[in-house]
Amino acid sequence: MAQWRTVVVAGVITGTVLYAIAGRDRQEQRAEPEPTRAAAVTPRRLDIPSLKLKAPLMRLGLTAEGDVELPPFDKPQVAGWYEGSAVPGEKGASVIIGHVDTKTAAAVFYRLREVRKGAEVRITRSDGKVARYRVEKIEQVPKERFPAERVYTEDGLRLVTCGGVFDRSRGQYRDNIIVYASRVT
């Protein structure tokens, strides 16, 4: 389990950015509450046809330490939508996180590093709408240089998993794979 405790070594930075965003959002909500309908809409399914990937989505919040939760290890084929991010199809950054593997098998984002620029990503929402995106960029970054601001604040869909070399001494991957996708209108 230690290998996943720090899926993002930059968790402290991420937590700080998310805390700052949440604080700003709370102030904005006091001034102008978000419509109830938008709050009730959630993403339900992720589909990346070029990878033949179809996965259910669950909601992810923050841990007590302020890091984004991860999907449970006993559900390796489920990805998670960070509910502090935008609902896919809406304005803002929408973040989906999934495991690359477990100790015994491949997980939902095992092939994510194979996705190519221009690939379509679809998110089916609870309101029946399908948000469509095109992959713009794929990057592999060291966890200690995780681009939290770009991932959690810039408009578009972000798919995040682990990647690179597995560091056995630390029990985790050294890098993150991040897919950036823009909404197709």
pTM across the whole model = 0.80
> What is the reported pLDDT for 40?
85
User: Is the pLDDT reported for residue 150 higher than 50?
Assistant: yes
36-77 tens-digit pLDDT: 444 589 999 999 999 999 999 999 999 999 999 999 989 999
> What is the reported pLDDT for 39?
55
According to DSSP, residue 62 is labeled B
Number of structural domains, the chain?
1
Domain that includes residue 126, residue range: 2-183
CATH number at residue 117: 2.40.260.10
Please give the residue that has the higher pLDDT: either 179 or 14. 179
The pLDDT of 143-170, averaged and rounded, is 95
User: Is the pLDDT reported for residue 162 higher than 50?
Assistant: yes
> What is the reported pLDDT for 77?
96
